[in-house]
Structure formats: structure tokens, C-alpha cells
């Protein structure tokens, strides 16, 4: 491994952490907002030529509960 590939691997981790912190700060700032649903960050490993290549943000999903959404809809 070259030094540049090692630095790029670390950079992917920093970017994934930054995305996680952004989503966490949104969750905290909107905790008391009516109708807001928290979000989760899903990470996946990057593999390059059989070796670890860092981390990738595979998706950002909202943690909505279908039962509560249906109950709220029926109540209205």
C-alpha cells in the first residue's frame, strides 16, 4: 500500500463520520418538531483489490414506524 492509498482510506472514514455527525445534529435539533422522524446512517466497507479501502455511506434512511404512521392517519 502506498501512503496516498492509506490517506485516502482515512479520508473516506472522515467523510463518513462527518455525514454521521450531520445526521445526528439534525436528529437532535429536530427532536421536538412534530412529525419529524429520526434518520439513520448506514455504512458499508469499501474493498479494493481484496484489501480494505475505507468506508462508504451506503444510505441515509428515515426510521419511520409504519404502525404509528397508520394509527396517526386513522386517528385524523
pLDDT tens sequence across 30-55:
999 888 889 999 999 988 777 778 89
pLDDT computed for residue 14 by the predictor: 95
H or E stretch covering 52: strand 51-62
Burial class (CB in 10 A: 0-12, 13-18, 19+), 12: middle
Cα→Cα distances 14→42, 51, 62, 64, Å: 15, 19, 22, 27
Name the pTM for this structure.
Answer: 0.74
For the residues 55-62, what does the mean pLDDT come to? 91
pLDDT computed for residue 45 by the predictor: 92
pLDDT computed for residue 30 by the predictor: 93
Cα→Cα distances 23→1, 19, 20, 63, Å: 32, 6, 5, 12
Amino acid at each position: 500500500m502506498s501512503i496516498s492509498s492509506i490517506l485516502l482510506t482515512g479520508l473516506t472514514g472522515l467523510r463518513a463520520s462527518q455525514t454521521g455527525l450531520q445526521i445526528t445534529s439534525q436528529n437532535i435539533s429536530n427532536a421536538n418538531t412534530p412529525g419529524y422522524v429520526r434518520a439513520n446512517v448506514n455504512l458499508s466497507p469499501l474493498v479494493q483489490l481484496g484489501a480494505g479501502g475505507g468506508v462508504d455511506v451506503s444510505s441515509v434512511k428515515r426510521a419511520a414506524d409504519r404502525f404509528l404512521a397508520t394509527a396517526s392517519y386513522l386517528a385524523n
